[in-house]
């Protein structure tokens, strides 16, 4: 049994925190003593109903939870403030709980954890979730030659060098990590654990959706990376082939932007249904879909990206349109016969993808292939087993 302090800069009141943090920790807690620090959006912290869901789940699993308030503006100063508060809290908890492993989810939690490792001797599990500093540049948030990026890359080096084990989301990112030029000694062990989901929950419906109308789906936010206009253009190409088609978008915060994007794509009013859903409701929304989208801007930092929505779609037996240059997506979709991986986003490429996904969605075996791929790659139980093994290795090294 390991004593673990888990640090996440994502909130547990958000669907992502519930699916990608709590779902793992609930299962790991049967063999380990776990305490969680998370940073919650003020709107969530101020809502007893939103906080009640994660609080109940964590308490039922015997997991301690310290929710801290997330600060957004001004961006750099707010993050530094959160880091300072997080370091003080993490160090206090680590000493009180005699923490053996600090498990950090991405770069900001890694910065919070450095004093804990240095002052307590706890092992550091660096769960990178992506090349965060490069994501900020590739997303146009930071300039490539800017001071903040240079500082972030120096910190990245410290995180990797301090890590006793590294977890990454994709096989495509492993050679990049091992090729870093700053390893004085052999790189720490690297394990690939993609964004897994509960495949008992994200399972195919008892019966597939009716053939008409064809429903093209999307789950989650678009934000910086997911390609809203290209997704709408893809649906417009589908409409040209299936005039009865509808688009179902499950999204919390971007409804006005989505309606504007639909208008730009010349999609008739009433053909796009947009609505929010709790994490528990997402699977039933996916069950209405014949195919779904996960188009992500391809760039260097996305070599380490494994979108959760892809695992959710495939778990429910829904084929997907994605694109090359993003983690292991091409291999998963094209190699497994579970979808289409776009190489370009011009009208001809979108039209060809629309033709292929329509044909694929009519294949009577496609839903079984999607489910089999999900079980092989994205099973939550498999991911949890990998984390259990890492925890055991780290405690054995103390």
pLDDT tens digits, one per residue of 25-39:
999 999 999 999 999
Quote the DSSP letter at residue 22. I
Domains and CATH numbers, the chain: 3-195+380-396 (3.40.50.2000), 215-377 (3.40.50.2000)
pLDDT, one tens digit per residue, over 56-104 is: 999 999 999 999 999 998 888 999 999 999 999 999 999 999 999 999 9
Confidence of residue 280 (pLDDT cuts 50, 70, 90): confident
CA–CA dist 65, 299 (Å, integer): 36
Task: Tally the C-alpha atoms within 13 A of residue 95's C-alpha that lie toward its C-beta.
Answer: 9
pLDDT, one tens digit per residue, over 144-155 is: 999 999 999 999
Per-residue pLDDT, averaged over 190-204, amounts to: 95
pLDDT, one tens digit per residue, over 99-144 is: 999 999 999 999 999 999 999 999 999 999 999 999 999 999 999 9
Quote the DSSP letter at residue 365. T
CA–CA dist 230, 318 (Å, integer): 20
Cα-based distances in Å from 103 to 100, 128, 167: 10, 10, 10
CA–CA dist 318, 257 (Å, integer): 26
* Residue 2 · residue 32 · CB < 8 Å: yes
Q: Is the pLDDT of residue 156 over 80?
A: yes
Confidence of residue 184 (pLDDT cuts 50, 70, 90): confident
* Residue 164 · residue 123 · CB < 8 Å: yes
Please name the residues in contact with 359: beta carbons below 8 A apart, sequence gap of 6 or more. Answer: none
Q: Is the pLDDT of residue 185 over 80?
A: no
Confidence of residue 379 (pLDDT cuts 50, 70, 90): very high
User: Strands across the sheet with 320-323, in order?
Assistant: 272-275, 246-250, 215-219, 291-293, 320-323, 339-342
Confidence of residue 278 (pLDDT cuts 50, 70, 90): confident
Place of tokens 């009519």: 362
pLDDT, one tens digit per residue, over 219-274 is: 999 998 999 999 999 999 999 999 999 999 999 889 999 999 999 999 998 999 99
> Helix H segments across 71-202?
75-97, 107-120, 132-138, 147-162, 174-178
């Amino acid at each position: 049994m390991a004593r673990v302090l888990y640090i996440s800069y994502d909130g547990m009141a958000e669907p992502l925190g519930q699916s990608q943090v709590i779902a793992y920790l609930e299962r790991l807690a049967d063999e380990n003593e776990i305490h969680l620090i998370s940073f919650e959006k003020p709107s969530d912290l101020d809502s007893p109903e939103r906080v009640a869901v994660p609080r109940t789940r964590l308490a039922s699993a015997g997991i301690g939870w310290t929710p801290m308030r997330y600060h957004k503006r001004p961006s750099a100063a707010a993050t530094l403030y959160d880091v300072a508060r997080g370091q003080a809290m993490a160090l206090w908890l680590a000493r009180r709980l005699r923490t053996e492993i600090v498990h950090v989810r991405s770069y900001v939690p890694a910065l919070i954890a450095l004093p804990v490792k240095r002052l307590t001797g706890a092992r550091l599990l660096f769960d990178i979730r992506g090349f965060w500093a490069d994501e900020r540049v590739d997303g146009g948030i930071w300039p490539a030659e800017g001071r903040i990026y240079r500082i972030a890359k120096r910190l990245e080096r410290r995180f990797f060098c301090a890590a006793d084990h590294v977890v990454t989301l994709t096989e495509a990112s492993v050679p990049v990590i091992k090729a870093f030029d700053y390893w004085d000694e052999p790189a720490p062990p690297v394990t690939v654990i993609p964004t897994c989901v509960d495949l008992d929950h994200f399972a195919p419906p008892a019966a597939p959706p009716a053939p008409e109308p064809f429903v093209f789906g999307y789950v989650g936010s678009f934000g910086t990376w997911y390609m809203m206009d290209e997704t709408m253009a893809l649906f417009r190409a589908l409409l040209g082939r299936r005039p009865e088609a509808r688009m179902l978008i499950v999204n919390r915060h971007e409804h006005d932007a989505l309606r504007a994007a639909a208008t730009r794509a010349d999609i008739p009013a009433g053909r796009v249904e947009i609505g929010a859903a709790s994490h528990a409701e997402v699977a039933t929304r996916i069950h209405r879909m014949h195919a779904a989208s996960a188009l992500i801007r391809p760039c260097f930092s996305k070599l380490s990206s494994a979108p959760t929505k892809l695992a959710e779609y495939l778990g429910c037996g829904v084929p997907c349109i994605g694109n090359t240059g993003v983690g292991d997506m091409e291999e998963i979709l094209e190699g497994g016969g579970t979808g289409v991986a776009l190489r370009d986003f011009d009208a001809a490429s979108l039209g060809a993808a629309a033709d292929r996904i329509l044909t694929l969605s009519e294949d009577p075996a496609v839903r079984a292939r999607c489910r089999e791929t999900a079980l092989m790659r994205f099973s939550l139980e498999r991911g949890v087993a990998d984390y259990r093994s890492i925890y055991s290795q780290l405690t054995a090294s103390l």
